[in-house]
Amino acid sequence: MDIIKAYIILSIALFLIGLLGVIVRKNLITVLVSTELMLNGINLALVAADKVLGRVDGQIFAFFVLTVAAAEVAVGLGLIVAIFRLKGYEASHEISQLRD
């Protein structure tokens, strides 16, 4: 088997582990960390595809994914801290309303 296929399978495993974390974690901050794991899985697939094709475009896409992940962490943590200040709780099943 080609080693690139092994890398793609590893990236699929990482993505699905991150998805499991998004589904099952109670705490909102750890849900955000699991989202980062999913993004890392995508980055691994992009860079592996890059090695097959002999180009650098996938690495540049991974660079943009990194940028968007940084922005998402900033806004997400700001939201979590604001929700905690406002309501005093931080579990995903208790935040089921958007206003009031």
Partner 1 sequence: MEWLIFFILGAWLIISALGTVLAKNPIHVMLFFLSSLLAMAGLFLSLGAELLAGLQLIIYAVAIVVFYVLAITTIPWEKIKRFEGVYKTEILTASPILLVLFLVMSYMVIKGKFAEPSGVVKDNVEAVGRTLFTSYLFPFEVASVILLVAMVGAILLARKEE
Asked if 87 touches partner 1 (CB under 8 A), the answer is no
> How many CA atoms within 13 Å lie on the side-chain side of 11?
17
- Restricting to residues 42-61, which ones interact with partner 1 according to CB under 8 A? 43-44, 47-48, 50-57, 59-60
Distance in Å, CB of 39 to partner 1, minimum? 9
Cα separations in angstroms, 50 against 1, 3, 32, 41, 91 = 18, 13, 27, 14, 39
Cβ 98 to partner 1, closest distance in Å?
Answer: 15
90 binds partner 1 (CB under 8 A): yes
Q: Which helix (DSSP H) or strand (DSSP E) does residue 90 occupy? A: none
One of 70, 96, 98, 100 touching partner 1 (CB under 8 A): 70
Does 84 help bind partner 1 (rule: CB under 8 A)? Answer: yes
- The encoded tokens of residue 62 equal 């991974």
- For the bound state, the minimum distance from the C-beta of residue 57 to partner 1, rounded and expressed in Å, comes to 7
**Cβ proximity of 97 and 33 under 8 Å:** no
